[in-house]
Chains A and B, each alone.
Chain A
């Protein structure tokens, strides 16, 4: 068990690339922390610095209160699970899992017992004498986990451990990783670029962008109170919709119509000294088919009417896509998010508004629909700095 503290940790690669800068994270004993961010944002680098596989350029890493910058990986007593699993191809599953114990000169009987315990937990008992090359992806992943847990290290580091699995298996393994961590109670730092994993797994999530920590908090907190445009766009699926808007006297003029802000939002914006030009963000789940909203409730929101472009019925809910006339908001952050997500899932970019409606909605593709949204859930961002103007954390 260990407490891990990163104190202004910075990594500059020999070629000059600044991969991580001034990272401050305090990870409590037994905590499950997720490092999340788009590819290339420095997650692996940060993890490798904790592991001791990369040097720390400046700043301090403390494990259990002691400076660990110069410690060799083997002296840190930390286990790591790699994206490629990094199983030793010339050893059987049993030998793979026993390897850390053998290096630690544990006696044979204990090794056997611990390996079998771990195999039991991970449901690998019948595969112990096979070679990694004869295992399926999911089994390999479990062997990698097994190798990490056998020696009961102070902490686990996992670098995108599920990203080589297919979607279904990934879902299953996500649950078992979470269970395993709770069962063992070992401090864990988990790297992923998948916001779903970030939301579902961790006690706390650290959002990284370009080597800089954007925000740290519980998944729910990040969802409810993103510190900036980037976090708002990254957390949540489908992503938050962003539209350019002008704010005047508590009234927001946007492509979705003119909206009177609620007192709460208005006060926050005023306190934050909001500029006239802002970016307004609304999550898909804060829209609803106006026909299904009770009269009493309607007043707390605003409505717009537009033709439904595409309607996806998921059974439990429906997603309706609309096109707005005007250009949607684009900022550096949003472009980066769009690039990271690829063409399929453009967060806020493009000119589509994504809304999530109740399954009972009678929306039809191609037909006009009146859509209501909750004005109290609107978040306003400064287009130049990306700062959340309605942040209330």
Chain B
């Protein structure tokens, strides 16, 4: 079937609509972040006067740098742990025969659907009692918990795709189960693990509910929570410009991830939901 230019043009137009839809809010907040204080309230979509002052401001105070470090540290640690634990469990689910497999799948399904807010009250109290409130581990633990179902689903979907006969082959070639895993299965699973790590990181990076309920100071407050407490350089200043700049800073890495790993992220997001 010959593809006419007309049809192509129509699709191109539709694509443009989609692109505008997806990028409008992002461009808008980026625009705000580049506006000077004077033009901030002019309502223009494109800044009339450009400035980097807002960026200079946020990196001049602990109000942003501390939360940024917290966000990075907490999300990275939680991702690492969740992916490692998820990998172990997913391997077992995809591959091994053992009692309690169904129960584990059921529990993680429950947790995936669980309203986080329901945990906030008891966790607040428990963490206060244990001295975990307003600490890194105090956030890392719930992040791991809610990231695990995601990690387990995505990884077990990836693991199921691996031709397991290779493991048998490795065993016949004289490998112990450990060697069979590390030398044959792990290299094949790496892309799936990487994708899962991205998804889990995005999840932790994005969280707001726990971040504002289980933290109270800069000791562990992450950027999303800190943003909503931003005051600007002085108490009386309108924080719009600085909030926008901070928002752009934490958005850029995610957008880059998405640009580079589009294919993998799509595969990861859809793997658990649809049976192939």
Among B97, B163, B175, point to the contact of A86 (Cβ < 8 A): B163
Binds A, one of B32-40, B166-174, B196-204, B245-253: B166-174
Contacts of A151 in B (CB 8 A): 174
- Does A74 interact with chain B (Cβ within 8 Å)? yes
Tell me if B262 counts as interface (CB < 8 A to partner A).
no
Q: Specify the chain A residue showing the minimal Cβ separation from B166.
A: A86
How far is B173's CA from A73's CA once the two chains are assembled, in angstroms? 8
Q: Is the CB of B172 within 8 A of A53?
A: yes
Say whether A79 faces chain B, with CB atoms less than 8 Å apart: yes
**Smallest CB-CB separation from B169: which chain A residue?**
A86
B237 surroundings in chain A (CB, below 8 A): none
Query: Given A82-B168, A86-B166, A86-B168, is A104 in contact with B184 using a C-beta cutoff of 8 Å?
Result: no
* Closest-CB distance, B191 to chain A (whole angstroms): 11
Of A77, A82, A99, the residue contacting B165 (CB under 8 A) is A82
The CB with the most chain A CB atoms within 10 A, among B97, B168, B172, B188, is that of: B172
Q: How far is the CA of A77 from the CA of B174 in the complex (A)?
A: 7
Separation of A84 and B188 alpha carbons in the complex (Å): 17
Interface of B, helix, strand, loop or mixed by DSSP:
helix
Tell me whether B173 and A89 are in contact (CB under 8 A).
no
For B173, what are the chain A residues with a Cβ–Cβ distance below 8 Å? 74, 79, 99-100, 103, 147
Nearest Cβ on chain B to A329's Cβ, whole angstroms: 41
CA distance A86 to B173 in the complex (A): 11
Q: Which of these, B163, B170, B171, B187, contacts A84 with CB under 8 Å?
A: B163
A90 touches B171 (CB 8 A): no
| Assembled-state Cα–Cα distance A76/B168 (Å) | 13
Distance from B184 Cβ to chain A, minimum over Cβ atoms (Å)? 6
With both beta carbons as reference points, the residue of chain B lying nearest to A100 in the complex is identified as: B173
> For the complex, what is the distance from the CA of A104 to the CA of B171, rounded to whole Å?
12
**B175 touching A103, Cβ below 8 Å:** yes
Residue of A nearest to B173 (CB): A100
Q: Which residues of B contact A78 (CB under 8 A)?
A: 172
A74–B163 contact, CB under 8 A? no
Count how many pairs of residues, one from A and one from B, have CB atoms less than 8 Å apart in the complex. 56
B174 near A89 with CB under 8 A, answer: no
A72 to B174, CA, bound (A): 9
**Does A80 make an interface contact (CB < 8 A)?**
yes
Q: Mark A62-93, 1 if CB is under 8 A from B, else 0.
A: 00000000001110011110101010111000
CB distance from B163 to the nearest CB of A (A): 7
Cα–Cα, bound, A79→B175 (Å): 12
List chain B residues, Cβ under 8 A from A77.
174
In the complex, whether B176 has a CB less than 8 A from a CB of chain A is: yes
Inter-chain CA distance A99–B165, complex, in Å, is: 15
Question: Which residues of A lie under 8 Å from residue B174 when comparing CB positions?
Answer: 74, 77, 100, 103-104, 151
Q: How many residues of B contact A (CB 8 A)?
A: 18
Determine whether A261 belongs to the interface, using a CB cutoff of 8 Å to chain B. Answer: no
B125 neighbours in A (Cβ, 8 Å): none
Interface string of B170-197 (1 = CB under 8 A from A): 1111111001000110011000000000
How far apart are A389's CB and chain B's nearest CB, in angstroms?
44
Once A74-B174, A74-B176, A103-B174 are accepted as A-B contacts, the answer to whether A80 and B188 lie under 8 Å apart by CB is no
**With A and B bound together, what is the CA distance between A84 and B162 in angstroms?**
13
A34 → chain B, closest Cβ, in Å?
A: 20
Q: How far does the alpha carbon of A80 sit from the alpha carbon of B80 in the complex, in Å?
A: 37
Residues of B within 8 Å of A89, CB to CB, are 188
Q: Which of A72, A84, A88 contacts B184 (CB 8 A)?
A: A88
Q: Does A315 contact B (CB under 8 A)?
A: no
- Determine if A51 is an interface residue (Cβ-Cβ < 8 Å): yes
Which residues on the B side are within 8 Å of A79 (C-beta)? Answer: 172-173
The 8 Å CB contact of A51, one of B97, B172, B187, is B172
CB-CB under 8 A for A90 and B172, given A14-B97, A84-B163, A103-B179:
no
Interface residues of A in 93-107 (CB under 8 A from B): 99-100, 103-104
Q: A100 to B168: give the CA distance in the assembly, Å.
A: 13
Residues on A with beta carbons closer than 8 Å to the beta carbon of B171: 52-53, 72-74
Within 8 Å CB of A51, what residues of B? 168, 172
Task: Give A83 Cβ to nearest chain B Cβ, in Å.
Answer: 8
Q: Which residues does chain A contribute within 8 Å of B166, judged by CB atoms?
A: 86, 88
Chain A neighbourhood of B163, CB < 8 A = 84, 86
> What are 30 pairs between A and B in contact, CB < 8 Å?
A53-B168, A53-B171, A73-B171, A73-B172, A74-B174, A74-B175, A77-B174, A79-B173, A80-B168, A80-B169, A80-B172, A82-B165, A84-B163, A84-B165, A86-B163, A86-B165, A86-B166, A86-B168, A88-B166, A88-B169, A88-B170, A88-B184, A90-B187, A90-B188, A99-B183, A100-B174, A103-B173, A103-B174, A103-B179, A157-B172
- Taking Cβ atoms with an 8 Å cutoff, the residues of B that contact A are 97, 163, 165-166, 168-176, 179, 183-184, 187-188
